């Protein structure tokens, strides 16, 4: 078991005195990326120390000098697969690091528990297994958090599921920025970093993150948003992400192997490098993440979709071609056994329904992978502010008045800390509306079979359990409707009855009035 310890060569400091925030991501079987945001503007000198507890005498030491640029980017390479690592930030100028000292630090910090006053906390991560080999792992996912939220839900996620990483599915904050201001986005990130409970989760486990509308721009922001370039620039700069637009390692083609270099400033952004779509392979599972904001409504679809002159794209030409290439490669790669498709919005919801041609294209390919090739496929989404599950029994996509049935399974995760809504139906399980929701997804992978286990939670209470290998669960009809829809039907029935009753009363009054007038007329005629 290896450990990383980071030392700053200054006078004695506490973690909170020197470090505003750090998070880690781009986790692989042998590496991880860390981005550290410091409180000081002066140059920092780090010593990175690693060792194996079973062979603690043979620790290694690396001196790292960093300028005052923030965040500081640290790359940990040549790690062992499927290995638990620990690291700690130390701020004492210790000349002679000994195995006794390292063991003392480890024993002191290993039982560290959360307090709002971050003492000298110890952090950890676990590398993935080798690509192409059976490997079981789990991650938790959710989205939609109030700006600077200090909800305990972030503590619950870590302490209840201990995920190998956390996937923030969008709306990291609700700043709804609508100007091309770097300062506005910087402040929004810093508000997240300043939340004690959010910092706890994002510092304890590796992060995967895909922005949605409220953290990309204003509500329902698309590719025309004035924040388009800034949102992408700050993602590049602040988020510990992997290679974007990547074809490797799945496709070993030199012409396709190029991916965008790190964007340093706003002038470096162009149509070739913009966008945060990417994929990663963990064991025999591929996680594909699409960017549904950067390119939305910029392209009018052409002849490849039957010359629908008024149809617009949510993916854009470059991302769409990338996605088709990756899905086609997955279909002919025998050792890939599971596909997780990350969509920041519900795949069977209102947003995708506005782009049915691309929606059908993706559904066709995912269904082929699931039904014909018999691989496990799960769509993971957020945005709808509800927790629910569709097993595919009633999964339809409409286009030009026609309904197409696809047996695609989708789990909707969230929200973290926003009020509830309901945006897709019918459902197999749920919906549970409102906040304090998240979902844990476990890929159980062995030589015999691969299954995806979904457990949804409200705080620490389990809401539902689903297993993609359970035929009984997959055959449930799933007629559950949104509570709002049911309520509206009740209101409609009551309103209809009231209208009908009112109409009858009006008719009665008219008839009564006519009858009364008729009686008067008859009386007058008799008097004459």
113-132 residue pLDDT tens: 545 444 456 788 999 999 99
**By the 8 A CB rule, do 23 and 106 touch?**
no
pLDDT the model gives residue 3: 58
Q: Residue 62: is its pLDDT beyond 70?
A: no
Angle at alpha carbon of residue 201, lines to 274 and 455, rounded to 5°: 90
Question: Of the candidates 240, 127, 221, 145, which has an alpha carbon nearest to the alpha carbon of residue 180?
Answer: 221
Looking at 22-26, 89-93, 241-245, 453-457, which range is the least confident one? 89-93
- Whether the model pTM is above 0.85: yes
> How many Cβ atoms from other residues are within 10 Å of residue 155's Cβ?
18
Q: Residue 9: is its pLDDT beyond 50?
A: no
pLDDT the model gives residue 119: 47
pLDDT (tens digit per residue) in 126-171: 999 999 999 999 999 999 999 999 999 999 999 999 999 999 999 9
Looking at 11-25, 183-197, 309-323, which range is the least confident one? 11-25
**Which residues, in sequence order, are bridge partners of residue 368?**
none
**By the 8 A CB rule, do 402 and 360 touch?**
no
More confident residue, 179 or 49: 179
Rounded distance between C-alpha atoms, residue 369 and residue 156, angstroms: 35
How far does the chain reach from its first CA to its final CA, in angstroms? Answer: 116
**Which residues, in sequence order, are bridge partners of residue 288?**
279, 341
| Eight-class DSSP state of 371 | I
pLDDT the model gives residue 74: 85
pLDDT the model gives residue 10: 43
Q: Residue 68: is its pLDDT beyond 90?
A: no
| Tokens 């986005």, residue located | 185
Looking at residues 16-32, what average pLDDT do you find?
90
More confident residue, 8 or 352: 352
**By the 8 A CB rule, do 409 and 391 touch?**
yes
Question: Of the candidates 280, 452, 451, 314, which has an alpha carbon nearest to the alpha carbon of residue 380?
Answer: 452
Domain boundaries, the chain: 2-126, 137-481, 485-528
Helix locations, 69-138, DSSP H:
99-109
pLDDT the model gives residue 292: 98
More confident residue, 519 or 385: 385
pLDDT cut 70: percent of the chain above it: 75
3-state secondary structure of 69: coil
pLDDT the model gives residue 70: 74
For 137-481, CATH number out of 3.30.9.30, 3.40.50.1220, 3.60.21.70, 3.40.50.300 equals 3.60.21.70
Looking at 357-361, 384-388, 422-426, which range is the least confident one? 422-426
> Quick one: tokens of 516?
């009364």
**By the 8 A CB rule, do 468 and 450 touch?**
no
Q: Residue 496: is its pLDDT beyond 70?
A: no
Rg (CA), the chain: 28
Residue 252: pLDDT band (50, 70, 90) is: confident
Rounded distance between C-alpha atoms, residue 354 and residue 268, angstroms: 32
pLDDT cut 90: percent of the chain above it: 55
**By the 8 A CB rule, do 359 and 351 touch?**
no
pLDDT (tens digit per residue) in 320-329: 999 999 999 9
Ramachandran class of 113: left when φ > 0, alpha when ψ lies in -120 to 50, beta otherwise: beta
**What is the layout of strands, in order, in the sheet containing 44-52?**
55-66, 44-52, 2-8, 84-90, 122-126
Looking at 209-213, 249-253, 342-346, 439-443, which range is the least confident one? 249-253
**By the 8 A CB rule, do 268 and 327 touch?**
no
pLDDT the model gives residue 11: 47
More confident residue, 250 or 456: 456
Looking at residues 337-366, what average pLDDT do you find?
94
Q: Say which residues have a Cβ less than 8 Å from residue 99's Cβ, sequence separation at least 6.
A: 51, 56, 57, 59
Chain centre to alpha carbon of residue 387: 13
Residue 66: pLDDT band (50, 70, 90) is: low
pLDDT the model gives residue 308: 56
pLDDT (tens digit per residue) in 374-423: 999 999 999 889 999 999 887 877 766 667 778 899 999 989 998 877 77
pLDDT the model gives residue 393: 85
């Amino acid at each position: 078991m290896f450990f990383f310890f980071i030392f700053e060569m200054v006078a004695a400091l506490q973690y909170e005195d020197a470090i505003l925030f750090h998070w880690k991501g781009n986790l692989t079987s042998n590496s991880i990326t860390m981005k550290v945001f410091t409180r000081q503007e002066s140059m920092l000198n780090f010593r990175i120390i690693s060792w194996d507890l079973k062979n603690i005498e043979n620790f290694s030491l690396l001196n790292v000098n960093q300028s005052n640029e923030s965040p500081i980017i640290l790359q940990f390479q040549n790690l062992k697969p499927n290995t638990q690592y620990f690291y700690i930030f130390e701020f004492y100028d210790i000349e002679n690091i000994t195995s006794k000292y390292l063991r003392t630090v480890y024993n002191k910090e290993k039982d560290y528990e959360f307090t709002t006053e971050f003492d000298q906390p110890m952090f950890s991560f676990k590398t993935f297994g080798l690509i192409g080999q059976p490997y079981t792992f789990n991650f938790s996912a959710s989205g939609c958090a109030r700006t600077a939220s200090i909800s305990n839900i972030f503590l619950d996620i870590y302490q209840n599921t201990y995920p190998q990483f956390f996937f923030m599915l969008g709306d990291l904050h609700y700043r709804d920025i609508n100007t091309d201001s770097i300062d506005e986005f910087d402040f929004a990130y810093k508000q997240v970093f300043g939340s004690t409970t959010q910092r706890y989760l994002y510092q304890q486990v590796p992060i995967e993150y895909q922005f949605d509308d409220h953290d990309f721009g204003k509500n329902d922001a698309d590719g025309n948003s004035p924040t388009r370039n800034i949102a992408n620039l700050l993602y590049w700069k602040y988020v510990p992400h992997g290679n974007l637009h990547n074809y490797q390692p799945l496709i070993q083609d030199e012409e396709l192997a190029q991916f965008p270099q790190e964007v340093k400033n706003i002038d470096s952004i162009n149509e070739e490098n913009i966008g945060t779509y990417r994929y990663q392979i963990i064991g025999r599972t591929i996680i594909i993440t699409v960017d549904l904001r950067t390119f939305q409504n910029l392209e009018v679809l052409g002849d490849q979709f039957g010359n629908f002159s008024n149809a617009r794209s949510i993916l854009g030409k470059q991302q769409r071609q990338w996605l088709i290439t990756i899905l086609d490669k997955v279909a002919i790669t025998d050792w890939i056994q599971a596909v997780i498709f990350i969509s920041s919005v519900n795949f069977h919801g209102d947003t995708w329904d506005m782009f049915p041609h691309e929606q059908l294209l993706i559904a066709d390919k995912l269904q082929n992978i699931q039904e014909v090739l018999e691989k496990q496929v799960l769509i993971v989404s957020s945005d709808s502010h509800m927790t629910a599950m569709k097993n595919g029994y009633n999964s339809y996509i409409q286009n030009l008045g026609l309904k197409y049935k696809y047996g695609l399974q989708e789990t909707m995760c969230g929200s973290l800390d926003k009020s509830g809504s309901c945006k897709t139906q019918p459902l197999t399980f749920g919906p549970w509306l409102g906040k304090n929701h998240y979902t844990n997804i476990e890929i159980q992978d062995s030589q015999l079979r691969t299954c995806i286990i979904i457990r949804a939670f409200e705080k620490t209470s389990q809401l539902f359990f689903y297993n993609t290998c359970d035929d009984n669960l997959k055959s449930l009809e799933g007629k559950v409707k949104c509570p709002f829809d049911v309520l509206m039907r009740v209101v409609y029935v009551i309103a209809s009855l009231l209208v009908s009753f009112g109409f009858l009363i009006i008719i009665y009054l008219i008839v009564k009035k006519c009858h009364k007038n008729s009686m008067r007329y008859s009386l007058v005629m008799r008097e004459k």
